[in-house]
Structure 1
Amino acid sequence: MSEIDWDSPEGAERYDRNCDHQFQKGQILVEMMGIKKGDFVLDVGCGTGRQALNVAGILGPTGQLTGIDPSSYRIKLARKKVVEGSPGNVRFLVGQAEDLRVVPDNSINHAYFCSSFHWVDDKKTALKEIYRVLRPGGRVGMTTLDRDSPNTMRALVDPILAKYNIEKRHEWHRGMRKVTAPELHDLLSGAGFTGISIEPKAVQLKYNSPEEFLQHLEEKDSPDGVLKDIPEEIRENIRQEITEGFRKAQTPEGTGFGNITLFAIATKAN
């Protein structure tokens, strides 16, 4: 998992305010994995620690949660959330999924990647590291974007950008290395895992208004901030066309965008 090159203190704080979607998917994964009181758990790509602290509450004082993330800015925010007097069962470290040397062999019951596996550069090495630190019978879980799934956000925005000949000036999710379900199965199997289960789920990110959607597209320090550098002379036209497209897709429950997410769980053999 490489350092996120667009991250910054402001970006980390913005992520912390807007990670509801990832947190929602992570809650589903945690329940699927059966994490329980007293377990030792590793959160790989823990971000600002929201899911990690949720899991630490499940573990209780006899369990332990280690959160690792390559962004020092996000780890700093995560550490601030560990208030004085909290159970001493959580720690946050700056680190890489491919190098878990701070975690001993056979010491973890569960390891998970909540919306972070698609950021990992060397997935084979990362999964070998996870296999090493898991106890026999331990489980790895992840939520990760399916490369074969069409991105409904791009389906709306890309044709509008193309009209203004600016579609090649921006990158969506730069740095991501998404996989398909068969590729993920092969990666897990190749690392030695068994009992592999991969389930695609549509868990969309909801927007309540076109203004909220446009704000997301214009955010600096965001991989989806494809409108942040649009010239002023054409910005308003693009905003109006995106607003029209959003309203056509709008429903009373809110407008959802996103890819299919793969929910995967696998076991280290006894």
Structure 2
Amino acid sequence: MSEIDWDSPKGAEKYDRNCDHQFQKGQVLVEMMGIKKGDFVLDVGCGTGRQALNVAEIIGPAGQLTGIDPSSYRIELARKKFVEGSPGNVRFLVGQAENLRAVPDNSINHAYFCSSFHWVDDKKTALNEIYRVLLPEGRVGMTTLDRNSPNKMRALVDPVLAKYNIEKRHEWHRGMKKVTAPELHDLLSGTGFTGISIEPRAVQRKYNSPGEFLQHLEEKDSPEGVLKDIPEEIRKKIRKEITEEFRKAHTPEGTGFGNITLFAIATKPN
């Protein structure tokens, strides 16, 4: 998993407050995988530990959970969530998906990537590591963005930025290495996994106001902070135009910007 070179203590805290979208998709994945009491679980790209809290409750004291993430700031927050009355069966480690040396062979019932697989640089190596640590009949699962999915947020923002000749000034989702459903199937199959299920789902991220949407675009510690370094006088004009476009797309249920998310599960054969 690539190093998060844009992360910071404040960035980790912002992520913890604003990761409901990823967390909810992860809850669905965990249920789909059938994680149960007593299971040994690996959370790859665990972030600040929100999904770990959910899973720790499911597996109970008889199970074990290991969370791993390349951001030391996020791992620090994850550990704090388990400080008081912390069960001895939960641990968090700073590390990469491509190197799970702290996890023994054939020791895990379920390993999952909740909105983190698209950040992994060397996906083949990472999946080989997952295969190694899984028990026979163990399962790997992931929610990951489909590379072929249109970016509705970008479709709204880019034309406004283009008016000011800054459409290429920033990268969206910098560092992400998305895959398509067929590519993901080939990666899992090539590793040796069987019983592969990949389900594309349209998952909306709702914004209730232009201000909420703009705040997301301006966050300095977000890879989507496409407005964060634009001079203030230009940014004011851009904010006004984006607000107008946002209101055009608004519905009583809120304004949704979503990508196709791939919900994938596969099994290590016995």
TM-score by length of 2: 0.99
CA distance in 2, matches of 1:90, 1:156: 42
Kindly provide the amino acid, as one letter, of the partner of residue 164 in structure 1: Y
**What's the CA shift for 1:100?**
0.3
In the alignment, which residue of structure 2 is the partner of 1:256?
A: 256
Aligned position for 2:16? 16
**Percent identical residues:** 90
Q: Superposition pairs for residues 166-181 of structure 1, below 5 Å?
A: 166-181=166-181
Show the counterpart of 1:146: 146
Task: Supply the distance in 2 between the matched residues of 1:91 and 1:79 (Cα, whole angstroms).
Answer: 8
* 8 Å Cα contact 1:11/1:222 also seen in 2: yes
- Report if the CA contact (8 A) 1:53-1:90 is conserved: no
Structure 1: 4+ residue segments shifted above 6 A: none
Cα distance in 2 for residues equivalent to 1:25 and 1:147: 17
Where 2:55 maps in the other structure, the secondary structure is helix
Which shifted more, 87-96 or 34-43? Answer: 87-96
Equivalent in the alignment of 1:35: 35
Segments of 5+ residues of structure 2 without an aligned counterpart are none
Answer yes or no: is 1:157 the counterpart of 2:122. Answer: no
Distance 2:144 2:172 in 1: 16
Counterpart residue type for residue 59 of structure 2: L
Q: Is contact 1:174–1:223 with CA below 8 Å preserved after alignment? A: yes
Offset, 1:25: 0.3
Q: What displacement does 1:203 show? A: 1.1
Structure 1 vs Structure 2 CA RMSD = 0.6
Q: Distance in 2 between matches of 1:92 and 1:262?
A: 26
Structure 1 equivalent of residue 185 of structure 2: 185
Instruction: Report the 3-state secondary structure (helix = DSSP H, G, I; strand = E; otherwise coil) of the residue aligned with 1:100.
Output: coil
**2:230 paired residue number:** 230
**Structure 1 residue 232, shift from structure 2 partner:** 1.6
Kindly state the Cα deviation for residue 86 of structure 1 after the two structures are TM-superposed. Answer: 3.1
Query: Which residue number in structure 2 is paired with residue 101 of structure 1?
Result: 101
CA distance in 1, matches of 2:157, 2:97: 33
Q: CA deviation at 1:5?
A: 1.0
Deviation at 1:88, TM superposition (A): 2.0
The whole-number CA distance in structure 1 between the counterparts of 2:99 and 2:67 is 13
The aligned amino acid for 1:112 is Y
AA aligned opposite 1:189:
S
- CA–CA distance in 2 between the matches of 1:91 and 1:251? 43
TM-score normalised by structure 1 residue count: 0.99
Q: Quick one: distance in 2 between partners of 1:157 and 1:76?
A: 34
Looking at structure 1, the residues matched to 123 and 260 of structure 2 have their Cα atoms a distance apart, in angstroms, of 20
The letter of the residue matching 2:172 is W
Q: Distance in 1 between matches of 2:75 and 2:235?
A: 35
Q: Secondary structure of the residue that 2:168 maps to in structure 1?
A: helix
SS of match in other structure, 2:192: coil
For 1:84 and 1:215, the matched residues in 2 are separated by: 33
Aligned to 1:133: 133
* Secondary structure at 2:203 match in 1: coil
Query: Structure 2 CA distance, aligned partners of 1:259 and 1:51?
Result: 21
Runs of 5+ in structure 1 lacking a partner?
Answer: none
Preserved CA contact (<8 Å) 1:60 1:87: no
* Number of matched pairs: 270
| Separation of aligned partners in 1, 2:83 and 2:97 | 26
